[in-house]
Amino acid sequence: MKVPAPLVRLWHRLGSPRWFFETTAPWLPWLLGLGVVLLGAGAFWGLALAPADYLQGNSFRIIYVHVPAAILAQSCYMLMGTCGVVLLVWRMKLADMVLEAAAPIGASFTALALITGAVWGKPTWGTWWAWDARVTSMLILLFLYLGIIGLRQALARPEAAGRACAILAIVGLVNIPIIKYSVDWWLTLHQPSTFKLTEKPAMPPSMWIPLLLSVLGFYALFVWSVLQSTRVVVLERERRTAWVQNFVTEQGSKP
Amino acid sequence: MHPKRKQRLTLVAFLFAGVALAVGLALFALNENINLFYPPDQIARGEAPVDQRIRAGGMVLEGSVQRDPGSLAVRFTLSDMAGHDVPVVYEGILPDLFGEGQGIVATGRLRANGTFEASEVLAKHDENYMPPELAELAGRKAPEGQRAGMATLDAGG
């Protein structure tokens, strides 16, 4: 299989943290702006304009935070698993930096999904928590994130820590299909997916369009925060290189 | 691809496949235990343990809910809408979403006479969301308590 030349070039450039740092700088304000606009529109549409649900009334509106948070929690983990493979196979420094930067962000999204789920569960199910397959596998995802964060702190040699985190991230990938299909494989209190690839959503457009905006807004803000966070890690780890020292001096001399 | 990298990629692939296989087998072995509740057909077939704390889940059969006017006691039939029914007795506060034709999960004990004595009843929501007007067209009704609650919310907002 032949990989197209521009992709090969991009792949080689990703080997340079400096290239990453300088290339992503102009993207940040656009991503932040896009995220704020999309999330603002989704939140206003979802909270104020979308109709109430016939059964749950207004409490269903937490879906506009809960579903995007849960999607991002899993997307972020898949990103980290991919970074783990790239680090172990190609020894790319940047992959380890993204792996370090993304972990706390993914953990926050997972915690947000669990908390909003509990807040919704109380009025809907009648309980804050149920040990069903969906809720439990999401809790395991949170522990995987916390484990990866803790493992890096626990190992003194950065290189060993990076590889250990990469292995844990790859092993934990097994949990992602379990989360996704838990509601189909087992009897759970959590309802099955409202959105399926092959069927019409079990929700009218007046409800799912704001949800889509909200999910896209979450994605934009996620990319923004992972980039920001990775840039900080780049500066920290490359602090002994001339280009970082020049960059810091330049920043310091600005009024 | 560099042979060294190819070797490492194979190693990573084996690591992942091994873990996936181990987890898959463990989940397969635990299959019954991961289910949160017993469906009515399993209870009707006698697969659920008697006099032990278990959960039973299913739909509340239309027209089966009988409330005691003097107390919080209620009895209803849990059904899988395929001919398997379990009578349930419960005394306590029901969740807002409880209603005939709705899914529920009840915690309690199955007695030898086939009656399920529930100590907690949770409502199970399905994956369908719709505005009240659409629901009326589709012939779905919200339980009375919930409809009243929505009216006050609408008046307030």
Domain count across chain A? 1
Distance (Å) from the alpha carbon of B103 to chain A's nearest alpha carbon: 9
Q: Are strands B66-67 and B116-124 parallel, antiparallel or unpaired?
A: unpaired
* Res. B140 pLDDT band, cuts 50 70 90: low
- Report yes or no: A51 and B132 within 8 Å, Cβ to Cβ: yes
Q: For residue A193, what are its two tokens?
A: 């997916």
Please give the pLDDT value at position B143: 53
Q: Decide if B131 and A52 are in contact by the 8 Å CB cutoff.
A: yes
Looking at the structure, do residues B69 and B27 belong to the same domain, yes or no?
no
Please give the pLDDT value at position B116: 95
Looking at the structure, do residues B54 and B113 belong to the same domain, yes or no?
yes
With respect to residue B147, please indicate whether it lies within any of the assigned structural domains: no
Range of the structural domain that residue A92 is part of: 34-235
Q: For residue A38, what are its two tokens?
A: 């999309």
Looking at the structure, do residues B43 and B114 belong to the same domain, yes or no?
yes
Name every chain B residue with its beta carbon within 8 A of the beta carbon of A58. 150, 153, 157
* CA–CA gap between residue A169 and residue A108 (Å, rounded): 16
* CA–CA gap between residue A148 and residue A10 (Å, rounded): 28
Range of the structural domain that residue B73 is part of: 35-123
The chain A residue lying nearest B16, using CA atoms, is: A171
Looking at the structure, do residues B23 and B83 belong to the same domain, yes or no?
no
Looking at the structure, do residues B116 and B49 belong to the same domain, yes or no?
yes
B8, B36, B94: residue with CB nearest A130: B36
Asked if pLDDT for residue B142 goes beyond 70, the answer is: no
With respect to residue B150, please indicate whether it lies within any of the assigned structural domains: no
Candidates A12, A47, A55, A175: best to mutate against B (most CBs of B within 10 A) is A55
- Report yes or no: A59 and B95 within 8 Å, Cβ to Cβ: no
With respect to residue A12, please indicate whether it lies within any of the assigned structural domains: no
CATH of the domain at B106: 2.40.50.140
Q: What ipTM goes with this model?
A: 0.83
With respect to residue B12, please indicate whether it lies within any of the assigned structural domains: yes
Q: For residue A36, what are the contacts with CB-CB under 8 A and spacing of at least 6?
A: A217, A221
Looking at the structure, do residues B63 and B84 belong to the same domain, yes or no?
yes
* CA–CA gap between residue B17 and residue A96 (Å, rounded): 22
Nearest of A182, A106, A122 to residue B95 by alpha carbon: A122
Please give the pLDDT value at position B149: 40
SS (H, E, C) A113-127: HHHHHHHHHHHHCCC
String of DSSP letters for A86-148: HHHHH--HHHHHHHHHHHHHHHHHHHHHHHHHHHHHHHHTSSS----HHHHHHHHHHHHHHHH
- Report yes or no: B124 and A191 within 8 Å, Cβ to Cβ: yes
Q: Is B4 on the interface with A (CB under 8 A)?
A: no
Low-confidence ranges of chain A (pLDDT < 70): 1
Q: For residue A96, what are the contacts with CB-CB under 8 A and spacing of at least 6?
A: A83, A87, A162, A165, A166
Average pLDDT of the residues of chain B: 85
A125, A131, A204: residue with CB nearest B131: A204
Q: Are strands B116-124 and B85-91 parallel, antiparallel or unpaired?
A: parallel
Domain count across chain B? 2
With respect to residue B146, please indicate whether it lies within any of the assigned structural domains: no
**Cα angle for residues A79, A84, A86 (degrees, 5° grid):** 95
User: What are the C-alpha distances in Å from A190 to residues A183, A223, B104?
Assistant: 7, 29, 11
Distance (Å) from the alpha carbon of A132 to chain B's nearest alpha carbon: 5
User: Is residue B47 exposed (0-12), middle (13-18) or buried (19+ Cβ within 10 Å)?
Assistant: exposed
Please give the pLDDT value at position B134: 75
* Res. B148 pLDDT band, cuts 50 70 90: very low
Looking at the structure, do residues B68 and B112 belong to the same domain, yes or no?
yes
Instruction: Give the orientation angle of helix A242-253 with respect to helix A205-237, to 10 degrees.
Output: 110
SS (H, E, C) chain B: CCHHHHHHHHHHHHHHHHHHHHHHHHHHHCHHHHCCCECHHHHHCCCCCCCCEEEEEEEECCCCCEECCCCCEEEEEEECCCCCEEEEEEECCCCCCCCCCCEEEEEEEECCCCCEEEEEEEEECCCCCCCHHHHHHCCCCCCHHHHHHHHHHHHHC
Q: Decide if B34 and A189 are in contact by the 8 Å CB cutoff.
A: no
Residue type, B29: A
Average pLDDT of the residues of chain A: 94
Please give the pLDDT value at position B154: 40
Name every chain A residue with its beta carbon within 8 A of the beta carbon of B5. 89-90
Please give the pLDDT value at position B157: 33
Q: For residue B88, what are its two tokens?
A: 């349930």
> What is the biggest distance separating any 2 CA atoms in chain A, rounded to whole angstroms?
63
With respect to residue A68, please indicate whether it lies within any of the assigned structural domains: yes
Looking at the structure, do residues B58 and B116 belong to the same domain, yes or no?
yes
* CA–CA gap between residue B99 and residue B65 (Å, rounded): 8
Looking at the structure, do residues B17 and B39 belong to the same domain, yes or no?
no
The predicted model gives B4-30 an average pLDDT of 94
Please give the pLDDT value at position A129: 93
Chain B residues 125-154 with a CB less than 8 Å from chain A: 125-136, 140, 142-143, 146, 149-150, 153-154
A54, A124, A126: residue with CB nearest B140: A54
Name every chain B residue with its beta carbon within 8 A of the beta carbon of A203. 128-130
User: Is residue B19 exposed (0-12), middle (13-18) or buried (19+ Cβ within 10 Å)?
Assistant: middle
- Report yes or no: B55 and B107 within 8 Å, Cβ to Cβ: yes
* CA–CA gap between residue B56 and residue B39 (Å, rounded): 6
Name every chain A residue with its beta carbon within 8 A of the beta carbon of B126. 191-192
Nearest of B122, B117, B104 to residue B51 by alpha carbon: B117
Residues on chain A bordering chain B, Cβ-to-Cβ distance under 8 angstroms:
51-58, 60, 63, 85, 88-90, 123-127, 130-133, 167, 170-171, 173-174, 178, 186-189, 191-194, 202-204, 206-207
Task: Write the pLDDT tens digit of every residue in B73-132.
Answer: 999 999 988 889 999 999 998 988 898 888 999 999 999 998 999 999 999 988 888 888
Task: Write the pLDDT tens digit of every residue in A2-27.
Answer: 788 999 999 999 989 999 999 999 99
